[in-house]
Amino acid sequence: MHIIHTVSDMRAFCAQSRSGMAAPSIGLVPTMGALHDGHASLVRAARADNDIVVASVFVNPLQFTDLGDCDDYRNYPRDLDADAEFLRGLGVDAVFSPSVEEMYPGFNTAPDRHPQIWVRTGRMGEILEGASRPGHFDGVATVVTKLFQIIQPDRAYFGRKDAQQLAIIQALVRDLDMPVAIHGLPIVRGDDGVAESSRNLRLSVDERRHATALSQTLFGLRDGKFASADEAAEHLASCEGVELDYLRIVDPADLRDVPAGTRQALALTAAWVGPVRLIDNLALEAHE
């Protein structure tokens, strides 16, 4: 397995890989590291579908508050050696782990500290998570666009836990005519129902127990325990250790709120549990 740190070397690896076989396919699994079983499911899908699998490990400052000048960015778990071993065991061909300076030249030295050109995500990036984290999805769309430009994958794999991110990336590829097939993989949950997330590493034992309220509420909404999203939100907000941000029911394609009785809707929630912001979602066949 190759561990690659520069854009030029990553491009060279992809070019060489493509020249060595007839019509080879490259699958990309973009990550920010701190890998878990959810990431493993993405890599396994990529491995099954493609001749070459590349995983990126890059904690992208553009998608954090104040361009990474915040505790959330500074405290985000980083362990490239452990991530590399994890990916090697899954049969990944190359890991792309650039520095911030490599991805955004001048980021740490230029007065503005950020790229001059961004990918703006408009309404889809300003609601839900975007309302609480302004600019977050512009940062996501910008780094994903750069990764697609550098690696030029045939397919890219994302988890459905980040449902808003997935919808935005699907729109990005569609609207900008990028020749990349986007694959969304199901949420992987722990035995307690908590959606796998790199941020879970920062939860204490008690906070992990409190975090189960998110998935329990979503499953309760799906199963008819709550008459509406508002009732489910009221319940979740009352749970011990949970500071609710939102619980909404939306169309999974465009993230617009949907009327009662809509099929194939998606329930989305976000909440703080201790110092950690968690998100979760669940597909609904119908809701009241």
Residue 159, marked binder: yes
Q: Is 36 annotated as a binding residue?
A: yes
Query: H-type helices in 36-162, by residue range?
Result: 37-49, 71-74, 80-89, 100-103, 122-126, 129-132, 136-151
Does the annotation flag 101 for ligand binding? Answer: no
- The reply to whether 39 belongs to the active site is yes
Residue 63 in marked binding region: yes
> CA-to-CA distance for 72 and 278, rounded, in angstroms?
12
> How many residues does this entry show for the chain?
288
Residues paired with 180 in a beta bridge:
none
Q: Which two tokens stand for residue 57?
A: 């490990």
Lookup: tokens for 286: 């119908």
Check whether 196 is labelled as a binding-site residue. Answer: yes
Q: Is 125 annotated as a binding residue?
A: no
CB-based burial label for 47 (10 Å; 0-12, 13-18, 19+):
middle
For residues 153 and 180, the answer to whether their CB atoms sit within 8 Å is: yes
Query: What sign for the dihedral angle of Cα 76, 101, 176, 136?
Result: positive
Three-point CA angle 53, 54, 59, nearest 5°? 150
Q: Is 39 annotated as a binding residue?
A: yes
Is 99 among the annotated ligand-binding positions?
no
> How far is Cα 220 from Cα 234, in angstroms, rounded to an integer?
13
User: How many other C-beta atoms lie within 10 A of the C-beta of residue 236?
Assistant: 22
Residue of 5, 39, 235, 287 marked catalytic: 39
Known binder of ligand: residue 37? yes
**188 known member of a binding site:** yes
Do the annotations mark residue 197 as ligand-binding? yes
108-114: long-range contacts, CB 8 A cutoff, minimum separation 24 = 113/67, 114/62, 114/67
State the CB neighbour count (10 A cutoff) for residue 199. Answer: 19
32 in a known ligand binding site: yes
- Residues flagged as binding site: 32-39, 63, 159-162, 165, 188, 196-199
- Residues flagged as binding site for ATP: 32-39, 159-162, 188, 196-199
- Residues flagged as binding site for (R)-pantoate: 63, 165
Q: Annotated active-site positions, please?
A: 39
